[in-house]
Amino acid sequence: MLHPLRHASLLARLSLFIACTMAVLSGCTVNQVTGQRQFTMPFAEQVKIGNAQYGPSQQQQGGRYVIDPDLNVYVSEVGKAVAAPSPVKLPFEFVVLNNDEPNAWALPGGKIAINRGLLVLLEDEAQLAAVLGHEVVHAAAEHSASQMRTAQIVGIGILVAGVAATQMEGENAALLGLGAAVGGKMFQARYGRNQELQADDYGINYMVAAGYNPQAAVELQQKFVELSAGRQSDLLSNLFASHPPSQERVNKNRAKAASLPSGKRNALAFQRAIAQLKKDQPAYDTHQKALAAVAEKQYDQALSLTNSALKKQPNEALFYITKGKVLTAQNNVAGARNAFDKAARLNPDYFMGQLGLGLSEASLKHYSQAKAALLKSQKLLPTSIALYNLGEVEQQQGNRQQAIEYYQAAAKDTGDIGRAAKQKLLDLNVEG
């Protein structure tokens, strides 16, 4: 007769075997990074999801940083060097986003982003390597994929651009009249303690293998702990929600770094790479004040602050977008049109400039120009407000069937735009 403890052990192993056997295709496999047995998603599926969400995720967070294109090249080179030691050879991509929030994230399949707002907090290339190495592990160790898989299991689902429409809240809704609805809310990971510790641990291995000083990873976590303790800004909320800092992480990184060889810091190269960001930081700080004024509906002050930011950096599309939204709120449609047009010219690959331009042109009854801009915005990021206004443009031009199709698509929105689109369909004697 089996001893009860041995019997329980056999049952546990049998349960694991049964679970792994039942997990078809995406079953129980050994993680190539950690060596642990886990349920997984096929890498081809991870890459597919990452490819689908990478563009929309960038669009919803300010778009690519384009004032200094060389910065994207530099970050990508550091990222690929840190990703090279990974046993999982994903098609890694790295991008700098035009976002004040100090954050970085990884999608399944190796699609990684770091915000402008985080880069200006770092001191050297080794700290950048620590950030990117951490995100590489989240992708390679399937942390992002496992969170998406869990979301599917509990019924949340994976929102991809064009599949669903949710209302975009904030100044867009207030200043663009009808609001804006995004097709495909960005997946925001919420990593747990074990996943964060794994990303720290293996990320340090990767950055050391790439020749960097592991002490940078200690400094990075210490910086986050200090920022968390003295947090006074909502800009840090997403960073700490997705990457919760702790003294435990600092201590573990310190202990690990002590056993590893020193390496390069490349402080001078890093400071050269972010020189434009540092030079423009006063302009972005002024723009943040303008956005705060917008939130308080102090539009004259917001316009003055936005113009001040533009004097400091006249090539930033985000500033012109804010100016366009303020002028929209002040019923200066022609001025808003000019501001959005400038934004669209400075960064034609960011949807918000194109959307604002399309709405302004439609208000001015410039229907051909409105249609062109709205279609560009829709290609970059599908939105309900673009669909609704495309319907209005087609209706004004006498294209009833095309208008109906746009209204039917916009009617899927669950907010004000969806209700307005359904009313349009009723007016056209069409059921939504």
Question: What ranges do the domains of the chain cover?
Answer: 41-161+190-269, 277-382
- The reported pLDDT for the residue numbered 30 is 62
* Mean pLDDT value of segment 393-413: 95
Look at residue 31 and tell me whether its pLDDT is greater than 50: yes
Instruction: Judge whether 417 and 196 are in contact, CB under 8 Å.
Output: no
Mean pLDDT of the 77-102 span? 95
**Rounded Cα–Cα distance for residues 151 and 153 (Å):** 5
Per-residue pLDDT tens digits for 248-271:
889 999 999 999 999 999 999 999
pLDDT surpassing 70 at residue 54: yes
Does the pLDDT at position 67 exceed 60?
Answer: yes
Are the CB atoms for 344 and 314 separated by under 8 Å? no
* pLDDT the model gives residue 332: 96
Query: Stretch 398-409: mean pLDDT, rounded?
Result: 96
pLDDT band at 229 (very low <50, low <70, confident <90, very high): confident
Per-residue pLDDT at 171 exceeds 50 = no
Looking up tokens 């929600």 gives 241
pLDDT at 159 over 60: no
Is it the case that residue 167 has pLDDT exceeding 60? no
Q: Per-residue confidence at 149, pLDDT binned at 50, 70, 90?
A: low
Rounded to the nearest 10 degrees, the angle between the axes of helix 416-427 and helix 384-396 is 20
Lowest-confidence region among 99-103, 138-142, 373-377: 138-142
Q: What pLDDT does 17 receive?
A: 42
For residue 253, what are its two tokens? 């990184």
Residues 6 or more apart in contact with residue 12 via CB below 8 angstroms: none
Report how far residue 54's alpha carbon sits from residue 107's, in angstroms, rounded to the nearest whole number.
Answer: 7
Between 236 and 348, the more confident residue is 348
Closest CA to 249 of 189, 204, 196: 196
Angle made by CA atoms 282, 343, 357, in degrees to the nearest 5: 140
- Predicted confidence (pLDDT) at residue 165 exceeds the cutoff of 90: no
What's the 3-state SS for the chain? CCCHHHHHHHHHHHHHHHHHHHCCCCCEEECCCCCCEEECCCHHHHHHHHHHHHHHHHHCCCCECCCCHHHHHHHHHHHHHHHCCCCCCCCCEEEEECCCCCCEEEECCCEEEEEHHHHCCCCCHHHHHHHHHHHHHHHHCCHHHHHHHHHHHCCCCCCCCCCCCEEECCHHHHHCCCCEEECCCCCCCCCCHHHHHHHHHHHHHHHHHCCECCHHHHHHHHHHHHHHHCCCCHHHHHHHHHCCCCHHHHHHHHHHHHCCCCCECCHHHHHHHCHHHHHHHHHHHHHHHHHHHHHCCCHHHHHHHHHHHHHHCCCCHHHHHHHHHHHHHCCCHHHHHHHHHHHHHHCCCCHHHHHHHHHHHHHCCCHHHHHHHHHHHHHHCCEHHHHHHHHHHHHHCCCHHHHHHHHHHHCCCCCHHHHHHHHHHHHCCCCC
Give me the mean pLDDT over the 82-111 stretch.
93
Q: Report the chain's mean pLDDT, rounded to a whole number.
A: 83
How do 111-115 and 93-97 pair as beta strands?
Answer: parallel
Cα–Cα distance, 49 to 424 (Å, whole number): 35
The stretch 96-118 carries a mean pLDDT of: 93
Query: When comparing pLDDT for 272 and 240, which is higher?
Result: 272
| Mean pLDDT calculated for residue range 183-189 | 49
Contacts of 7 (CB under 8 A, 6+ apart): none
Q: For residue 430, name the pLDDT band (cuts at 50, 70, 90).
A: confident
Give per-residue pLDDT as tens, 291-347.
999 999 999 999 999 999 999 999 999 999 999 999 999 999 999 999 999 999 999
Confidence (pLDDT) at 275: 98
Averaged pLDDT for residues 122-127: 98
CA distance 135 to 245: 15
pLDDT at 38: 61
Place of tokens 């003295």: 230
Q: What is the pTM of this model?
A: 0.83
Token pair listed for 133: 């190495």
User: What is the pLDDT, as a whole number, of residue 131?
Assistant: 96
pLDDT confidence tier of residue 18, bands split at 50, 70 and 90: very low
Please give the average per-residue pLDDT across 120-135, as a whole number: 97
Q: How far apart are CA 216 and CA 309, in angstroms?
A: 33
Distances (CA, A) of 269 to 118, 266, 272: 17, 5, 5
Q: How many whole angstroms separate alpha carbon 363 and alpha carbon 347?
A: 22
Backbone angles phi, psi at 384, to 5 degrees: -65, -35
The fraction of the chain above a pLDDT of 70, given in percent, is: 75
- Phi, psi dihedrals of residue 283, rounded to the nearest 5°: -65, -45
Rounded CA Rg of the chain: 24
Task: Please report the pLDDT score of residue 128 as a whole number.
Answer: 98
Q: Which CATH superfamily is domain 277-382 in?
A: Tetratricopeptide repeat domain (1.25.40.10)
User: pLDDT above 90 covers what percent of the chain?
Assistant: 60
Angle at 101 between CA 164 and CA 373, to 5 degrees: 50
Q: Which residues are bridge partners to 383 per DSSP? A: 182
